[in-house]
Amino acid sequence: MESRDIFSSVLRPLYGVDDTQYSIQRVLNNINALFCVSSSSLSLRISNTKKPVDLICHTGVDSFFSDFYLKKRSYHDPISERVTRYELDTGFTMADLCNQDPEWGKVHRSSFQSFGYKDALLVNFYSQNGDRGILAVRSDPRRGEFKVADSDTISQLSPLLRTALHVHLQLCNQSLNETDVPDAFSNSATAIINISKSGRLIKMNSEGHGILVREDGILLQKNHIKMQDSHSHFQFKKSLVDIFTATNQYTKLIKVQRDRDRFYLVRIVANNSISSNDHNATLIICDPFHNVRSESILCTLFNLTLREANVATHLGNGSKLSDIATQNGVSINTVKSQRNIIYEKIGIRNQIQLVRIVCYLEIIVETEIQTLHENKWISSSLHDSIFQN
């Protein structure tokens, strides 16, 4: 579990022998520190069919959350078909829980989903016999109580946390194989680096070239890939050994530290050819802190339609209602209606809040991107920040 995903270090206190409530508080501290969340709350519930274990612990929430959560799960299973699931190869063991029930502890899949609350995020851990543990995380308990009518989003979570989760789920659920890798090289939004079994550079796309040139956490040393952070480099080398010695082809996801506050999510895809000795791997590098330039991220994070995302982007860039109406060929009342829907879905009250979100995500207005001689260019100084190679 240690190098499997972005939350391995955040959830580490749960695997120790500390008091459960103290462990949960440490998890909250980690969430706050890593994702710049003002305050968090978490409840943990794990049950087993043979020997029920109930470790509900609420921190930072009142009884309303507990009562509503227990009532809701009695008639509505929070685990739905929309849940994104991914495998955890090693599973994890909670010391206290396994001491009570040695047969519990191995968790073979997990998922993230919104739980029908405006600012709640649910992390489900499944045991091999179908039981589950649940981590319910809120970004700020001071924002108000949970309500049934709240939209099914995680809109109140911090933009940094939402973006990191979005990236994390994308990495965990891409089903890449050898035939997919060449196509991935055409994607300029993700850094792709192809290396040999020893870590020697074979080829890379433009984003990968930019990272190596800037030596931004990952550099080239004697034509071999090296992580600047020593612990990250150890995990990288260990991952290469693991994927090339495995009998079945699989991938590993590691966190590569760039500096104190920033990191990459790196998925290592093994391209093992049994019929030859031509073993190589592909590094798919995603930067959760990189400028998000697509309106589609608003659709993903806030459940907006493409039209709503377009309007939200213009509002977030300071456009007036009349200008948006003229550009889209609709009435001001139509734009006002769209604006109100956007505010409700995102969970904000005014344009200033939307401007802060869009500026934080650095989503660029579509009209600022123009085409000249079949080459895309960005007006003003935005060019360097978008095309960094």
Query: d(Cα 257, Cα 128) in Å, to the nearest integer?
Result: 33
C-alpha dist (Å) from residue 387 to 210, 254, 261, 372: 9, 25, 23, 15
Q: What's the pLDDT at 258?
A: 84
- Over residues 348-376, the pLDDT tens digits come to 778 877 876 776 565 644 332 222 222 22
Average of per-residue pLDDT values in the chain = 58
Q: Mapping DSSP to helix (H, G, I), strand (E, B) and coil, where does residue 312 land?
A: helix
What is the full DSSP assignment across 73-112? HHHS-S--TT-EEEE-SS----HHHHHH-TT---EEEEEE
Q: Which region, left, alpha or beta, applies to residue 192 given φ > 0 means left and ψ of -120 to 50 means alpha?
A: beta
Global pTM reads 0.35
Amino acid at site 50: K
Amino acid at site 209: H
| Domains in the chain, CATH or no CATH each | 12-172 (no CATH), 175-286 (3.30.450.20), 296-386 (1.10.10.10)
- Over residues 264-292, the pLDDT tens digits come to 878 787 775 444 455 788 888 877 655 44
More confidently predicted of 384 and 312: 312
Q: What share of the chain is helix, strand, coil (3-state, %, to 5)?
A: 40, 20, 40
Least confident stretch, 17-26, 158-167, 184-193: 158-167
- Over residues 6-56, the pLDDT tens digits come to 444 555 665 555 555 566 566 666 665 555 444 444 444 444 434 444 444
**50-53 long-range Cβ contacts below 8 angstroms, 24+ apart:** 50/101, 50/103, 51/100, 51/101, 51/104, 53/97, 53/100, 53/101, 53/104
Least confident stretch, 89-98, 122-131, 171-180: 89-98
With residue 314 as reference, give the H or E element that holds it. helix 306-316
What φ, ψ does residue 44 adopt, rounded to 5°?
-120, 125
Band (pLDDT 50/70/90 cuts) for residue 228 is very high
Q: Which residues contact 380 (CB under 8 A, 6 or more apart)?
A: none
